[in-house]
Structure 1
């Protein structure tokens, strides 16, 4: 059902884009708008991963300079039936992560230093498994396409403000152009967010099954959500269009950032993971009252072993 809903939403966004072009320039306007969008999508298909990694200052790592992280990603990728993705680290105190790439053969997983410092190994495994689920579901390409179409709609709507105001040219007129410039990008953003929310639930479900314990991911989501409101992510604030790619919205809520959210409620996601854990017969590990969660092996703590060995 989620794939059908995603397909319908993407079709709706495409139809909206064609409609904007038609209102501005008739059939020729729709064709021109579609041609521009196609060119943007081709460029995004080949270059989106490098662009977003560069935006967030992500640096590549391997088995030599980040052995624990690299091995964990490799183990989980193997469990997911995926080729080994490229691994990146972002120097950022906010715990967060995202995946990018046009297909599983050209995928990359990026995590912040804050994520590695604040999460246990089990929680980090849950986060990475979630990102690998996006890769396996081809969400990284889907979200790039929706972001590109949404950007194209905004561009064409603004273009219509200058060339669509003359009703003698079959344009929507001044009032129509103003409404188009405001409502079309808003509608595109709503559709983009709906697609993002749908895919987050699907990635949570598959990611929990990849790592073997939904509680690990649920615990990580709670920590990341809390920290995201306390620790700003300056790179994300400068590039808010990439917020939907992260496991938790990285925007701090300054200004209008949280008027529309790119992610479903964290509490709803955690509740869904807890229900999945109950179905799988998995229980949260017992912990002494007031005891802190164990930290990852990159901080010198003993490793906790997952189902991957």
Structure 2
């Protein structure tokens, strides 16, 4: 599937890039803080004593604010991450309706995952079930003590054992490759931008004060630049999330084939999942963690997963997989 460099080289380079992207989200936080400072300065009309009103004055004043607002923004992000670290599992389970999958309820599921973990040399993550007819699965957690794999009852009913084994191997590869931790960090940090942008809008920073600010020299351009920076930070945070998701699905598919030696099983599972994976109660951030995310916006530009047909094509071309007869 990755003929040019091999699976492990791709995983290493992907991990370096992913950590750089997550670090970049912190940089975007500072950009967001400067944009907010610029909007607040322009809408409030406050400038340092003796400053001549104009765009340069507002830019300098906002830069001065950034000297304390920047570290505060980074600190707020770290606090946000600390809270998310301790609460994300319970929050996701509560929103989606996941519950522990006992060995009595799902013995085959436990047996399949145990075999895969032994083969991979990994501690076994917790197993959870969501009562939902959708066909999907996802992995969550930020460390070995928190990792969990969740499957829907719809998936359990639709897949044969070897197909379920391939899906579990896909999710286990996400855990092994640190995909789960990196993606959850990216989703959590990116949520800050949506929260801040929405807060600024609801506080009427941009709606009701532009007319008043336009009467002061340089205030309107400063407001527009600040709004543009806020939009830029939010936009790049979303692009970062999409970039992290799309390439990792191919790597996880390759890892599942490497572990199971059965590309046909994964192809069969993906064909069944295609178009049937939308979890009704799952927010966008959770859908990004799933085997497939069918939710796509305008022209698919915000798709977090590559199309399933592209993933199947890669399995056929590079992993020796075969399409079922009539597919």
- TM-score (structure 2 length as normaliser): 0.76
CA distance in 2, matches of 1:42, 1:170: 37
Of the three residues 234, 241, 246, the one matched with 2:280 is 234
In 1, distance between residues paired with 2:316 and 2:271?
12
Q: How far apart, CA to CA, are the structure 2 residues paired with 1:168 and 1:76?
A: 66
How many matched pairs? Answer: 278
The answer (yes or no) to whether the contact 2:274–2:308 under 8 Å persists in 1 is yes
Q: Distance in 1 between matches of 2:67 and 2:271?
A: 49
> Which runs of structure 2 are paired with 1:87-236 in the superposition (5 Å)?
87-159=127-199, 173-228=222-277, 232-236=278-282
- Mind listing any 5+ residue stretches in structure 2 that lack a counterpart? 1-12, 38-65
Offset of residue 250 of structure 1 = 4.7
Report the RMSD for the aligned CA atoms in angstroms: 2.9
Paired with 1:258 and 1:179, the residues of 2 have a C-alpha distance of 24
3-state SS of the aligned residue for 1:106? coil
Q: Give distance in 1, aligned partners of 2:67 and 2:187.
A: 24
1:243 aligns with 2:278: no
Aligned position for 1:58 = 98
State how far apart, in whole Å, the 1-side matches of 2:151 and 2:35 are.
43
Bigger shift: 48-57 or 88-97? 48-57
Residues 16 and 170 of structure 1: CA distance in aligned 2, closer, same or farther (over 3 Å): farther
Give the distance between the partners of 1:156 and 1:196, measured in 2 at CA.
23
Distance 2:271 2:35 in 1: 45
**Alpha-carbon contact 2:98-2:131 (below 8 Å) kept:** yes
Cα distance in 1, alignment partners of residues 250 and 301 from structure 2:
21
Q: Displaced runs of 4+ in structure 1, greater than 4 A? A: 158-172, 255-259
Q: Indicate conservation of the 8 Å contact 1:46/1:102, yes or no.
A: no
Instruction: In structure 1, list runs of 5 or more residues that go unmatched.
Output: 293-309
Note closer, same or farther for the CA distance 1:172–1:59 as it changes in structure 2 (3 Å cut): farther
Q: 1:262 is matched with which residue: 304, 308, 315?
A: 304
Which residue of 1, 5, 19 maps to 2:31? 19
- Distance verdict in 2 for CA 1:202–1:168, change over 3 Å: farther
Q: TM-score, normalised by structure 1?
A: 0.80
SS in structure 1 of the partner of residue 276 of structure 2? helix
CA distance in 2, matches of 1:171, 1:138: 45
User: Which residue of 2 is the match for residue 277 of structure 1?
Assistant: 319
C-alpha distance in structure 2 between counterparts of 1:27 and 1:256, whole Å? 38
> Counterpart of 1:186 in 2: which secondary structure?
helix
Q: Is the 8 A contact 2:31 2:230 kept in 1?
A: no
Distance in 1 (alpha carbons) for counterparts of 2:294 and 2:100: 21
Counterpart of 1:43 in structure 2 is 83
User: What is the CA-CA distance between 1:172 and the residue it aligns to?
Assistant: 7.5
> Where does residue 53 of structure 2 map in the other structure?
none
Q: Is contact 2:136–2:292 with CA below 8 Å preserved after alignment?
A: yes
